[in-house]
Chain A
Amino acid sequence: MTEQKTEKRSIYRMLVEYDRRIIYLFIFVLIIAPLMQPFSLPIQVSPGTMTYYNVINGLKKDDVVLVVFDTEFSGYMEIQSGILASIKMMFEHEVKVAIAVSHPEATGIPQLVFDQLKGVMDQHHYIYGQNYINLGYIFPNEASVASTAQDFHSIVRQDAYGKSIQGTFLDNVNTWKDWTLISDYTTGIQSGSLINHYGLRGTPMIVNCIGVMISTQMPYVSSGIYKALLESMRGGAELEYLTSSPGPGLTAMNSFTLGHYLLMIAIILGNIGYFGYRSEMSRKAKEER
């Protein structure tokens, strides 16, 4: 037992058996440091983001877009950059925007977006009710999504502030056919329902989803149900770069990059430790024989 206590752990064993909190510490430092001391790193725009940008760029004045905040607040923090950059583009194109929400935590997000884009809205003379409207929490479940797709005004009679939507630009919206585009910012809550009742019927859809959902959304992109997919915070940062509107996405990209590189280094070191420790053990076994 004394022998085991005094036996020094080899470097290989340390690389395999280190306390996971060391990784936590490094991740913490590498994420926080670039935010406290920003520096700029170059960024390349991916083809998916370019497609997303082109779809929004193709919108014309007075097109009617349904923006769905299909996310909890935690998801909003990840896709915030894409939300702000894309809605800013929509305001610049002077499209009519109706905002709906599918989670109680997201009811405050529309006001946050309006506050941050106030300058652009004022510049393009956005008037509530005529050019934009906040419908609030109207998509709690699939039945409500289905209902709005078939007869919008049967289920949506007032906006998030309790005012009637009669007399707004939504008077001309009755079914899924009347929307020019649906822009879904999603963590997966009602994205399936929107596909079932809007996308599959032919309403053009674009989506900005969180990182873990990208693989599940790919089939819809390749089948044409989604016109474009903006991939998580990175896609949002690329869109900010394309639209020359730096925001939370570009700010976070340094941390994003460093975090990825740290993970790769940790994997490489882990494998070095694994193979080194394995050959050490087999060498010791041979010596003992």
Chain B
Amino acid sequence: MVNPLFQVPGIVSGRALGLILVIVLAILVYYYMSSGKKIYIRRVPGLDAIEEAVGRSAEMGKPVVCSFGIGGFTYWTMAGLAILSHVATLSARTGTRLIVPTGGSNDSLIVRPVAEEIVRNAYLLEGKVEAFDSNDMPFMSGQQYAYTGGYIGILQRTRPGSVIMTGYHASEAMNIAETSNAIGAITISVGAYISNTACLACASDYILIGEEAPAAGAYLSKEPPLRASIRAQDIYKAVSLILIIGGLILMTAGSDIVIRLLVS
């Protein structure tokens, strides 16, 4: 059992550092949100692939299939919805049919109306609201594999030019990516689930791994809160990196100060 480096009176043992980190993170997020500074986020290469995919579908006269994942209102779903909005805008602009299969879990029922609103708004802003069809956003099922069956059925029947899987997809992502490849569509996916990432990297033509999806969402939406979040996260990742490298060096030198700090 390692002794903590410090203890704050009144705070449960072993949780003081966690509390400090959360408070500092909240301050950082608030600071960047309210600073009014234009925060730079580099353009994620996957976004070019998305634009190329929609353009290809438009040239071939084939629809685009884009899904935002099977989760509820989570970190990944919000990123997925931001990318869906972008895809909807591009589809409306190019006159390409956009199909958005929804479902996969009970939580996705709550997200569905929001996604419908996002797509409708995208069409409205492009002045093509009459092209929006809510029947192109079918709710497959709250059951993961029933959703997969429905999704694959859509791919086999409509033969889209591109399939874009954003948000959180679990094991059904492999089924969908492989079917998409079999029908000759460009496949772009998001590796939100680490277990899937390796398989999706093989099965998809382009992949946005992990944090690239929320960063892409922040880049596209241009909203200060999203960009502030990405900046705060990057700072904390840098802090983690310093702790890891510093801890490694100090542990090798025989000091357990970093471990003691982390259990404080």
Chains A and B touch (C-beta atoms under 8 A apart): yes
Residue positions of A touching B, CB distance < 8 A: 20, 72, 74, 188, 212-216
Question: Is the contact region of chain B dominated by helix, strand, or loop, or is it mixed?
Answer: helix
CB contacts (< 8 Å) of A215 on chain B: these are 194-195
A212: which of B145, B171, B182 is its contact (CB, 8 Å)?
A: B171
Q: Does B221 sit at the interface, judged by CB under 8 A?
A: no
Q: 3 tightest A-B contacts by CB? A: A212-B195, A216-B194, A213-B195
A-B contact pairs, 14 of them (CB 8 A): A20-B182, A72-B144, A74-B145, A188-B170, A212-B171, A212-B195, A212-B196, A212-B199, A213-B195, A214-B195, A215-B194, A215-B195, A216-B194, A216-B195
Q: In the complex the two chains form, what is the Cα distance from A251 to B196 in whole Å? A: 27
Q: In the complex the two chains form, what is the Cα distance from A212 to B200 in whole Å? A: 12
Which residues 182-227 in B have Cβ within 8 Å of A in the complex?
A: 182, 194-196, 199
Shortest Cβ distance from B238 into chain A, in angstroms? 20
Query: Who on chain B is nearest to A212 by CB?
Result: B195
Shortest Cβ distance from A197 into chain B, in angstroms? 14
Q: In the complex the two chains form, what is the Cα distance from A74 to B145 in whole Å? A: 10
CB contacts (< 8 Å) of A20 on chain B: these are 182
Query: Who on chain A is nearest to B178 by CB?
Result: A20
Query: Who on chain A is nearest to B107 by CB?
Result: A141
CB contacts (< 8 Å) of B182 on chain A: these are 20
Q: In the complex the two chains form, what is the Cα distance from A56 to B196 in whole Å? A: 30
CB contacts (< 8 Å) of A74 on chain B: these are 145
CB contacts (< 8 Å) of A212 on chain B: these are 171, 195-196, 199
Q: In the complex the two chains form, what is the Cα distance from A214 to B196 in whole Å? A: 11
Shortest Cβ distance from B115 into chain A, in angstroms? 22
Query: Who on chain A is nearest to B15 by CB?
Result: A200
CB contacts (< 8 Å) of A213 on chain B: these are 195
Q: In the complex the two chains form, what is the Cα distance from A188 to B192 in whole Å? A: 14
Q: In the complex the two chains form, what is the Cα distance from A91 to B145 in whole Å? A: 34
Q: In the complex the two chains form, what is the Cα distance from A279 to B194 in whole Å? A: 36
Shortest Cβ distance from B264 into chain A, in angstroms? 15
Q: In the complex the two chains form, what is the Cα distance from A74 to B170 in whole Å? A: 14
Shortest Cβ distance from B8 into chain A, in angstroms? 19
Q: In the complex the two chains form, what is the Cα distance from A74 to B143 in whole Å? A: 12
Query: Who on chain B is nearest to A75 by CB?
Result: B171
Q: In the complex the two chains form, what is the Cα distance from A213 to B170 in whole Å? A: 11
CB contacts (< 8 Å) of A216 on chain B: these are 194-195
Shortest Cβ distance from B179 into chain A, in angstroms? 11
Which residues 157-174 in B have Cβ within 8 Å of A in the complex?
A: 170-171
CB contacts (< 8 Å) of B145 on chain A: these are 74
Q: In the complex the two chains form, what is the Cα distance from A212 to B174 in whole Å? A: 12
CB contacts (< 8 Å) of B195 on chain A: these are 212-216
CB contacts (< 8 Å) of A214 on chain B: these are 195
Q: In the complex the two chains form, what is the Cα distance from A72 to B170 in whole Å? A: 13
Instruction: Tell me which of A72, A212, A213 has the highest count of chain B C-beta atoms within 10 A of its own C-beta.
Output: A212
Q: In the complex the two chains form, what is the Cα distance from A213 to B194 in whole Å? A: 8
Q: In the complex the two chains form, what is the Cα distance from A215 to B196 in whole Å? A: 10
Shortest Cβ distance from B178 into chain A, in angstroms? 8
Q: In the complex the two chains form, what is the Cα distance from A212 to B182 in whole Å? A: 23
CB contacts (< 8 Å) of B194 on chain A: these are 215-216
Q: A212-B196, A215-B194, A215-B195 are in contact. List 5 more A-B contacts (CB 8 A).
A: A20-B182, A74-B145, A213-B195, A216-B194, A216-B195
Q: In the complex the two chains form, what is the Cα distance from A176 to B246 in whole Å? A: 34
Shortest Cβ distance from A181 into chain B, in angstroms? 19
Instruction: Tell me which of B145, B170, B182, B195 has the highest count of chain A C-beta atoms within 10 A of its own C-beta.
Output: B195
Shortest Cβ distance from A77 into chain B, in angstroms? 13
Query: Who on chain A is nearest to B195 by CB?
Result: A212
Query: Who on chain B is nearest to A105 by CB?
Result: B143
